[in-house]
Chain A
Amino acid sequence: MDSGGREVTVRRQKIKKNRVKVRLIIFLILAAALLAAAVWAEALCPYDPYAQDMSAALQPPGPAHLLGTDRYGRDMLSRVLIGARSSIFSALLLAGITGMLGTAAGVACGYFGGAADMVIMRISDICLAFPSLVFAMGIAAVLNGGMKGAVIALAAVGWPKYARLARSQTLTVKNSDYIAAARLSGSSALQIIFLHILPNTGGPILVTAALDIGTMMMELAGLSFLGLGAQPPAAEWGSMMSGGRSMLQTSPWVVLSPGLAIFVSVALFNLLGDAFRDWMDPKGPGGHG
């Protein structure tokens, strides 16, 4: 009876594990499709996204223009597709930069400690003391806007989260026996960090980064909406929404197309992040590791 009950539990866990895996694979495929659409956007665009044709301004969605046209007569579908490139890749780049910078700072602080640890952590405290978007707006404004300025601004406010996480993870594993053994066998600090600490602390950081992509995308679009990110005529979802907001009531497709694109991509990357977290969680149904 006991062994039978255990068998049922194991089978249930396996089914749950498989479900998580399937979810992860589905979202990975969808995200890959989105990325592919962004990479080959130019080939997929039915029209030049920057070509103005005033005679076709504000056409509602129809066979000629599937998502309609904006006030300059530019095809919305082409602009949304091209916009995917700047919106998605900037968010990925941003998550990568902040993740790496923050992790490097956190691991260094956790492993070496001392005055540098104190200084870096106090700086991160200062960064965390401000509402992140307001702080990013300030930095982007000083950098005179532009997509580059927006990415730098969000990176500047995003790194402390990773630094704190990496630091606490490093402090946990730093005194483990295998680290002591590596140290005794003559490994250098860099070797220990790259070969032993990072592989054992990377999971939660990767999960955080995956969950962060959607947030980054929203924040980038937010800065562009406020005029502090992409500048006209750049096709970027946030700035496209900002440019069309006066037509929300008269020509809603101008705002809804980029809005829907933001919604779908952010939702997709958030779900992917969730699935990834479940799959990585050793105690959860995914049971990876």
Chain B
Amino acid sequence: MRKKTGILLLALCCLTAALSGCGGQKENEGQNGAEETAVKEFVMGDTTFNAENGEADINPHHDSGGWPCIRYGVGETLFRFSDEMELEPWLAESYETVDELTWVITLRDDVYFTSGRHMDGEAVKECLEHLTENHVRAAGNLSMGEITAEGQQVTIRTETPVPALMNYLADPYGCIIDMEAGVTEDGIVTGTGPYQAVALETDTRLELVKNPEYWNGEPKIDKITVRTISDGDTLTMALQGGEIDAAYGMPYASYPLFENEDYTFSSCATSRVFFGAMNFESPVTSDPAVRQAIAMGIDKESFVKTLLDGNGYPAVGVFPDSFTFGGSAVSTETYDPEGAKQLLEEAGWTDTDGDGIREKDGQPLTLRWLTYPSRQELPLLAEAAQATLGEIGFDVSIQNTADHNTIRTDSGAWDIYVSAFVTAPTGDPEYFFAYCCLDGSYQNVGHYHSDRLEELAGQLAAEFDPARRGELAVEMQQTVLDDNAYVFCSHLRMSMIARAGVTGLTAHPCDYYEITVDLDIQ
């Protein structure tokens, strides 16, 4: 009896302790609730903000650090793109060209860095000089010679004519940062945007606070956290569970879960393309017939309709329909498995041992397909192509790895590298070719070379007339497509999903601007 009473007392004690624990928690929650009303917080989840995508930090002069810098409202560029992808002034007021090599930019006078420094010509000069010294792609694009600053004017003299100079300055790497404040060990920079970065942990989170002295209005959110959530399913559950207020990079398979009044979508067509680059060093893809057969063996329509759930557009060339030099301005192979089989047969690729895989001179038609998982549609494309190319006689071996940036530099390790890429981030066609297709291109990892393309690229680099630039872009795309050096599968429709009550978070065709001064949460 005494034993039973003892157990009962113990149970009562446990219950009391548990209940008092709950009570305490409630009280804390209450306190937090009171704080929440005072401090407006916003949490964003992003699948792409990680080192794998070159976004280890928000330093625009390092790798792709400019993307998070501009997306999360820390940095701003001299010029920006309108919703129609037309160039408009941002930190700059205007520009004029003195001659083919000389540009004079007039800056706004009311802009301050979050460090308190006034953004004048000298600050911009220091930033651009540091950029070209440290960023290979920027240095190649801008071809910067001498920069001089006087008051709110900056004069740039390029070494060669760069007709798209102002467009290039609107690239995320062109974010104007305070070089006197420098770059912290974590990769935090001081910009002019509506928000100021205060803490950064690579692949984990970025903490931002509002910039009360912002030149273009008062930011409405006090504290923003951008969380790196590279896994799409985790992102889905984080938004469902209320851990985050908005999400970028949601898997299409999860869209139906958010198509109700509790959430809002902001979508728009972008120039981001899913495309494969052929390896010209490979014994398989160096064969033109094999490249053509690959282009004929990928069912783009089904990929877009079923695997992208209609959130894209089958691609023909480099640029989408929204560009005058994009869409059907060029032509390429269409899905034709029978034609591809015949083509391979004629080229000597035959299935001699009856295993369903073609061979030529003892070399099996194995296609090493290198891709990566952080763009969740890429592994789906790989598996879909594996089946359709398999029917033609290819043995597609998929290597889907986050380590793709290292592997792709070894031309002996892959045959086709499939990635996602914004082809016209500057609204101008030159960027894609300069970055991916030429002998000196940083991204030409498949070592593609075309005399004709080099010649046209030379002409494009010196051409100032937009109409003629468009014509050259069409010709260059057609050259690349005729060589089947690349196969463009689909252009992406990008969406950001937020819970109802979030306003001012709008998808933009160039995919640069996410967190702006307009962002608010109820």
Residues of A participating in the B interface, judged by any CB pair closer than 8 Å: 50-52, 54-55, 57, 71-73, 227, 231-233, 245-251
Nearest neighbor of A71 in chain B, beta-carbon distance: B307
Question: Which residue of B251, B256, B257, B387 is within 8 Å of A72 (Cβ)?
Answer: B387
B306 touches A246 (CB 8 A): no
CB distance from B176 to the nearest CB of A (A): 39
- Report if A233-B386 is in contact (Cβ < 8 Å); known contacts: A245-B233, A246-B251: yes
Q: In whole angstroms, how far apart are the Cα atoms of A227 and B236 in the complex?
A: 21
- Report if A71-B386 is in contact (Cβ < 8 Å); known contacts: A246-B233, A250-B257: no
Residues of A within 8 A of B446 (CB): none
B253 touches A232 (CB 8 A): no
Residues of B within 8 A of A227 (CB): 400
Q: In whole angstroms, how far apart are the Cα atoms of A84 and B239 in the complex?
A: 36
Residues of B participating in the A interface, judged by any CB pair closer than 8 Å: 232-233, 236, 251, 253-254, 256-257, 299, 302, 305-307, 376, 379-380, 382-384, 386-388, 390, 398, 400
B233 touches A72 (CB 8 A): no
Residues of B within 8 A of A246 (CB): 232-233, 236, 251, 253-254, 376
Give the 3 A-B CB pairs with smallest separation, nearest first: A54-B302, A54-B306, A52-B387
Q: In whole angstroms, how far apart are the Cα atoms of A231 and B387 in the complex?
A: 14
B233 touches A52 (CB 8 A): no
Q: In whole angstroms, how far apart are the Cα atoms of A250 and B302 in the complex?
A: 20
Residues of A within 8 A of B386 (CB): 232-233
Residues of B within 8 A of A73 (CB): 306
Nearest neighbor of A251 in chain B, beta-carbon distance: B253
Residues of B within 8 A of A249 (CB): 236, 254, 257
CB distance from A57 to the nearest CB of B (A): 5
Nearest neighbor of B376 in chain A, beta-carbon distance: A246
Question: Which residue of A50, A54, A71 is within 8 Å of B253 (Cβ)?
Answer: A71
CB distance from A60 to the nearest CB of B (A): 14
- Report if A250-B387 is in contact (Cβ < 8 Å); known contacts: A231-B398, A232-B382: no
CB-defined A-B contacts under 8 Å, sample of 29: A50-B387, A51-B387, A52-B384, A54-B299, A54-B302, A54-B305, A54-B306, A55-B306, A71-B253, A71-B380, A72-B307, A72-B383, A72-B384, A227-B400, A232-B379, A232-B382, A232-B383, A232-B400, A233-B383, A245-B233, A246-B232, A246-B251, A246-B253, A246-B254, A246-B376, A248-B233, A249-B254, A249-B257, A250-B253
Residues of A within 8 A of B236 (CB): 246, 249
CB distance from A70 to the nearest CB of B (A): 10
Q: How many A-B residue pairs have CB under 8 A?
A: 53
Q: A232-B398, A246-B253, A246-B254 are in contact. List 9 more A-B contacts (CB 8 A).
A: A54-B306, A57-B306, A71-B307, A72-B383, A72-B384, A73-B306, A232-B383, A246-B233, A246-B236
Residues of A within 8 A of B390 (CB): 50
B387 touches A233 (CB 8 A): yes
Q: In whole angstroms, how far apart are the Cα atoms of A212 and B5 in the complex?
A: 46
Q: In whole angstroms, how far apart are the Cα atoms of A54 and B387 in the complex?
A: 11
B254 touches A250 (CB 8 A): yes
CB distance from A149 to the nearest CB of B (A): 14
Residues of A within 8 A of B307 (CB): 54, 71-72
Most buried by A among B233, B253, B254, B383: B253
Q: In whole angstroms, how far apart are the Cα atoms of A54 and B309 in the complex?
A: 11
Q: In whole angstroms, how far apart are the Cα atoms of A192 and B185 in the complex?
A: 68
Nearest neighbor of B251 in chain A, beta-carbon distance: A246
Residues of A within 8 A of B388 (CB): 52
Nearest neighbor of A254 in chain B, beta-carbon distance: B253
Residues of B within 8 A of A71 (CB): 253, 306-307, 380
Q: In whole angstroms, how far apart are the Cα atoms of A194 and B233 in the complex?
A: 54
Q: In whole angstroms, how far apart are the Cα atoms of A216 and B253 in the complex?
A: 31
Q: In whole angstroms, how far apart are the Cα atoms of A55 and B302 in the complex?
A: 8
Q: In whole angstroms, how far apart are the Cα atoms of A179 and B93 in the complex?
A: 98
Q: In whole angstroms, how far apart are the Cα atoms of A250 and B307 in the complex?
A: 14
Nearest neighbor of A231 in chain B, beta-carbon distance: B398
Residues of A within 8 A of B251 (CB): 246
Q: In whole angstroms, how far apart are the Cα atoms of A52 and B380 in the complex?
A: 12
Q: In whole angstroms, how far apart are the Cα atoms of A246 and B237 in the complex?
A: 10
CB distance from A146 to the nearest CB of B (A): 10
Residues of B within 8 A of A247 (CB): 253
Residues of A within 8 A of B306 (CB): 54-55, 57, 71-73
Q: In whole angstroms, how far apart are the Cα atoms of A247 and B251 in the complex?
A: 10
Q: In whole angstroms, how far apart are the Cα atoms of A272 and B508 in the complex?
A: 60
CB distance from A137 to the nearest CB of B (A): 15
CB distance from A82 to the nearest CB of B (A): 15
Residues of A within 8 A of B379 (CB): 232
Q: In whole angstroms, how far apart are the Cα atoms of A256 and B232 in the complex?
A: 19
CB distance from B98 to the nearest CB of A (A): 55
Q: In whole angstroms, how far apart are the Cα atoms of A57 and B302 in the complex?
A: 10
Nearest neighbor of A144 in chain B, beta-carbon distance: B399
Nearest neighbor of A244 in chain B, beta-carbon distance: B253
Most buried by B among A51, A54, A247, A250: A54
Q: In whole angstroms, how far apart are the Cα atoms of A52 and B307 in the complex?
A: 12
Q: In whole angstroms, how far apart are the Cα atoms of A245 and B254 in the complex?
A: 11
Residues of A within 8 A of B257 (CB): 249-250
Q: In whole angstroms, how far apart are the Cα atoms of A72 and B253 in the complex?
A: 13
Q: In whole angstroms, how far apart are the Cα atoms of A69 and B376 in the complex?
A: 20
CB distance from B282 to the nearest CB of A (A): 19
Q: In whole angstroms, how far apart are the Cα atoms of A50 and B383 in the complex?
A: 11
Q: In whole angstroms, how far apart are the Cα atoms of A102 and B257 in the complex?
A: 50
Residues of A within 8 A of B384 (CB): 52, 54, 72
Q: In whole angstroms, how far apart are the Cα atoms of A260 and B388 in the complex?
A: 30
Q: In whole angstroms, how far apart are the Cα atoms of A248 and B398 in the complex?
A: 24
Residues of B within 8 A of A57 (CB): 306
CB distance from B30 to the nearest CB of A (A): 32
Nearest neighbor of B256 in chain A, beta-carbon distance: A250
Most buried by B among A71, A246, A249: A246
CB distance from A152 to the nearest CB of B (A): 19
Q: In whole angstroms, how far apart are the Cα atoms of A251 and B254 in the complex?
A: 10
Residues of A within 8 A of B302 (CB): 54
Residues of A within 8 A of B253 (CB): 71, 246-247, 250-251
Nearest neighbor of B380 in chain A, beta-carbon distance: A71
CB distance from B500 to the nearest CB of A (A): 19
Q: In whole angstroms, how far apart are the Cα atoms of A76 and B383 in the complex?
A: 16
